Amino acid sequence: MPIDSQPICYSLIIPVFNEEAVLPVLLRRLDQLLARLQGPAEAIFVDDGSSDSSPIVLQALVKRDPRYRYIGLSRNFGHQIAITAGMDAAQGKAIVVMDADLQDPPEVVEQLIAKWEEGYDVVYARRLSRAGESRFKRATAHVFYRMLGRMTTVGIPADVGDFRLIDRKVLNVLREMPERDRFVRGMIAWLGFKQTEVAFHRLERVAGETKYPLFKMARLAVNAALGFSDAPLRLAIWCGLVVSSLALLYGGWVAVLWMSNDSHLVAGWSSTIVIVSLLCGMNMLMTGIVGLYVGRIHAEVKHRPLYVVQERLGFERELAAAIQPAMRAVYE
């Protein structure tokens, strides 16, 4: 029976953004991986608005190899949205998310599948080391995961990215979570299910430049904190209480100096400047925190689509394979 007419067992989702330098090595190792898998598999490339030759290379591959699919987004929507677009199109019983830069080794996928076959619904890849990354990035990542673990009630694994395998039933529930500011690894952790890990050493980039600079990492951290914790709001409340208490204490001290006729006290100056400056600063901080939550609500109520697909290739083979048995049944 041809591959196209068999149910897909494994779906590999690979977001791509300007990765022309690494694609030759990636495609060679993916070919080797797909050949070793026990069961029909598909690899879905999600082009997140690339401006280099990545779309041309991937489209040509999809046209000649039925194992590959291509989704071209109309612009750059971001890594988490690109993952979501791939998940929406995946047909496999087990869905694997991995990056295109080969820092997530394709060979580890077989270890993830082995754990899935043992009965686990979510198998995530934990990084034992992070080659090629600066000491600053490793330190900030360490602090981020530890702080996030303390802030949230959801058990989000530390030192784990989006490289993971999820079962079909997990994906079906995940699709019912349409929030705009997505932190996919946190959303999967929130779902629960039976989870385990596979440890691996994260490799250095084979070629090209990182697509997650400091600004994007900070934005992802904010999405994680706001999406899975109300700690920032509670922090604003406690800051307000502390500032108010300090203002009352300072006001009492100024009153004592005034009643004792202290000559160093400039009437009205110190109390006004310090209290106004302190309260204004704290008010701006609390307003900003609340504003972030309000902004997220505003984004949700607009109900815009998460992404816009400009082009889809390779999926028509699935449709044809599904129609053929039905047509045979009708004519028989």
For 255-277, the pLDDT digits (tens) are: 666 667 666 655 666 667 666 76
Cβ-count burial of 2 within 10 angstroms (0-12 exposed, 13-18 middle, 19+ buried)?
A: exposed
Average pLDDT score over residue span 27-36: 91
- 38 pLDDT band, cuts 50/70/90, is confident
> What pLDDT was estimated at residue 22?
87
Residue pointed to by tokens 């995530």: 124
Could you report the per-residue pLDDT of 61-77, keeping only the tens digit for each?
Answer: 998 899 999 999 988 88
Greater pLDDT, 224 or 167: 167
Convert 144-162 to b/e letters by CB count within 10 Å (16 or more is b): bbeebeebbebebbebbbb
Average pLDDT score over residue span 127-155: 65
> What pLDDT was estimated at residue 247?
67
**Percent of the chain surpassing pLDDT 70:** 58
75 in Cβ contact with 50 (< 8 Å)? no
Q: What is the DSSP string of 1-60?
A: --GGGSPP-EEEEEEESS-TTTHHHHHHHHHHHHHHSSS-EEEEEEE-S--SSHHHHHHH
Could you report the per-residue pLDDT of 81-117, keeping only the tens digit for each?
Answer: 898 999 999 998 999 998 888 888 888 899 999 999 9
Among the listed ranges 70-74, 162-166, 306-310, 323-327, which one has the minimum average pLDDT value? 323-327
Whole-angstrom CA distances from 214 to 77, 146, 185 are: 18, 18, 19
Beta-carbon contacts of 148 under 8 Å, excluding residues fewer than 6 positions away, are: 156, 221, 224, 225, 228, 229
The residues with which 41 forms a beta bridge, in sequence order, are 10
C-alpha 263: how far from chain center:
60
Q: Which range among 121-130, 177-186, 301-310 has the greatest average pLDDT?
A: 121-130
Among the listed ranges 61-70, 159-168, 180-189, which one has the minimum average pLDDT value? 180-189
> What pLDDT was estimated at residue 312?
87
Tell me how far apart the alpha carbons of residues 219 and 214 are, in angstroms, rounded to a whole number. 9
Helices (H), the chain: 23-36, 54-64, 79-89, 108-117, 135-151, 168-174, 184-191, 214-228, 231-259, 269-301, 316-331
Mean predicted lDDT score pLDDT of the chain: 76
Q: Which range among 37-46, 96-105, 149-158, 216-225 has the greatest average pLDDT?
A: 37-46
Beta-carbon contacts of 309 under 8 Å, excluding residues fewer than 6 positions away, are: 71, 72, 73, 74, 85
Greater pLDDT, 177 or 304: 177
Q: Which range among 92-96, 126-130, 298-302 has the greatest average pLDDT?
A: 92-96
CA-wise closest residue to 151 among 140, 143, 160: 143
Tell me how far apart the alpha carbons of residues 43 and 36 are, in angstroms, rounded to a whole number. 14
The residues with which 12 forms a beta bridge, in sequence order, are 43, 96
